Amino acid sequence: MLQVSFIGMNALSGKIPSSISNCSKLAKIDFSNNLLTEYGLAGIVSTMGDAYSYGILLMEVFTRKKPTHEQFTEGMTLTHWVSKSFPGGVLDIVDINLLKKEKEDLNLKEQCFSSIMKLALECTRQTSEERIDMENVVSRLHKLKAKIHEDARYAETKALLL
């Protein structure tokens, strides 16, 4: 018999019998009283937790802030901070090192960062049912890449003509 005495604060405690210690598949775990936000408010483990984690990863990469950064206290989280800054203040939250090259079009960068942050926010919605699935994430990233290449070619051509 599986005995778990406490699931909370992102930790499991209790004794798990050796007969199931090497389980390779897990259909469902109820995490309704925990802080594992990737599983949404319902606390049901699903692959949509992957989308949440990917959204957080995008935010970390482009803002250079971790969810545990000291500025995120008293209800402020990385996702809330990004959401509050979106879409008009996206350049205020993006890592300054990504904005340094003067010869690149700042407008193009802002559009790119806005698209990425929008995608990250769609990945990190409160409930897993509201989140974009990973197949659509990949599709959106491919479209964004194609648009960036197209816009960059346009900018290069424009610069040559001027």
pLDDT digit string (tens) for 96-145? 888 876 656 778 888 899 999 999 999 999 888 899 999 999 999 999 99
pLDDT at 151: 79
Residue 157: domain span:
6-161
pLDDT digit string (tens) for 71-80? 888 888 999 9
- Placement of tokens 């949509």 in the chain: 48
pTM as predicted: 0.69
What's the rounded Cα separation, in Å, for the pair 80 and 66? 13
3-state SS track over 36-99: CHHHCCCCECCCHHHHHHHHHHHHHHHHCCCCCCCCCCCCCCHHHHHHHHCCCCHHHHCCHHHH
pLDDT at 75: 82
pLDDT digit string (tens) for 4-34? 444 444 555 566 666 666 665 555 555 444 4
- 149 within some domain: yes
pLDDT at 7: 47
- 61 within some domain: yes
- 32 within some domain: yes
Q: Is a pLDDT exceeding 70 seen at residue 41?
A: no
Helix axes 106-123, 78-85, angle to 10 degrees: 130
- 117 within some domain: yes
Instruction: Report the CATH number at residue 42.
Output: 1.10.510
* Count: domains in the chain: 1
- Please say whether the beta carbons of 2 and 17 come within 8 A: yes
SS3 35: coil
- 1 within some domain: no
- 102 within some domain: yes
Cβ neighbors of 45 (< 8 A, separation 6 or more) are: 26, 28, 29, 31, 39
Torsion angle in degrees (nearest 10) through CA of 83, 86, 90, 94:
10
- 125 within some domain: yes
- 133 within some domain: yes
